[in-house]
Amino acid sequence: MSYIKKYSNTLKTCPVLPNEIWKTIPGYSNRYSVSNLGRVWSDSSCRILTIFPTNLGYCRVNFTTNGKCNAHLLHRLVAQAFIQNPDNKPEVNHKDGDKSNNKSDNLEWSTSSENKRHAIKVGIFSIGTSRPDAKVNEFIVQQILEDRFKNSLTQERLANKYNISRTAIRNIINRKTWKHVPLPELLFTNMMT
């Protein structure tokens, strides 16, 4: 079975894989099509487009429009063509955690928090000391929280004491990072008095 496209008054065929379905990508005047198996066809060049990895491990393809090259994330193209999004969720999640598996049955629309929870669950996003770039550990975070709330140290003094950035200190104190580390008990006793 082949996917037939007209090109300069001739017909060119795209080899179709078993169970592959093609849909035109909206907004590109029938110039590009995407398949449910994560492949992209260019009508103008009559070929399957090359997939390039991004720095974050996602797959992208390049479209040329009016002489300009535009990069598009493959998982978003597949999701927009094949997956309903009745709740208008902004992100596309890879169910198996593999960013190179862009088949429509491996993708789902999600919120940012759903996507992050899923990434932690499947082990592609680490928290705490399991992160390779962690500069502190749970014990040090406890010490930072105690120094801040018990000893009233400023963020600048904490940053100098623990040799980490003020931004990192602020994120710990405001519970944007290291949320899984419980607040020191002394906070609760101070709140009660």
**For the segment 78-97, what is each residue's pLDDT rounded down to a tens digit?**
999 999 999 999 999 999 98
Do 55 and 93 lie in one domain? The reply is no
Asked whether residue 36 carries a pLDDT value surpassing 90, the answer given is yes
Asked whether residue 99 carries a pLDDT value surpassing 60, the answer given is yes
Task: Please report the sign of the dihedral spanned by the C-alpha atoms of residue 180, residue 185, residue 190, residue 193.
Answer: positive
User: Would you state the pLDDT for residue 138?
Assistant: 83
Name the amino acid, one letter, at 31: R
User: Would you state the pLDDT for residue 80?
Assistant: 96
Percentage helix, strand, coil, to 5, in the chain?
A: 30, 25, 45
Do 69 and 6 lie in one domain? The reply is yes
Q: Round to whole Å and give the CA distance between 49 and 34.
A: 10
Do 142 and 161 lie in one domain? The reply is yes
Q: Looking at the 3D structure of the chain, how many domains does it have?
A: 3
Q: Give percent above pLDDT 90 in the chain.
A: 49
Do 13 and 69 lie in one domain? The reply is yes
Asked whether residue 149 carries a pLDDT value surpassing 50, the answer given is yes
pLDDT band at 64 (very low <50, low <70, confident <90, very high): confident
Check residue 21 and report its DSSP letter: -
Q: Round to whole Å and give the CA distance between 6 and 87.
A: 37
- Domain containing residue 8: CATH number: 3.90.75.20
Boundary residue ending a domain (45, 77, 109)? 77
Tokens of 69: 């090259």
Residue pair 147/137 in contact by the 8 Å Cβ criterion: no
Do 64 and 116 lie in one domain? The reply is no
Q: Which domain holds residue 113?
A: 83-128
pLDDT band at 110 (very low <50, low <70, confident <90, very high): very high
pLDDT band at 187 (very low <50, low <70, confident <90, very high): low
Boundary residue ending a domain (77, 111, 141)? 77
Q: What is the mean pLDDT of residues 40-60?
A: 92
Residue pair 145/177 in contact by the 8 Å Cβ criterion: no
Do 65 and 119 lie in one domain? The reply is no
Do 64 and 10 lie in one domain? The reply is yes
Do 122 and 144 lie in one domain? The reply is no
pTM: 0.63
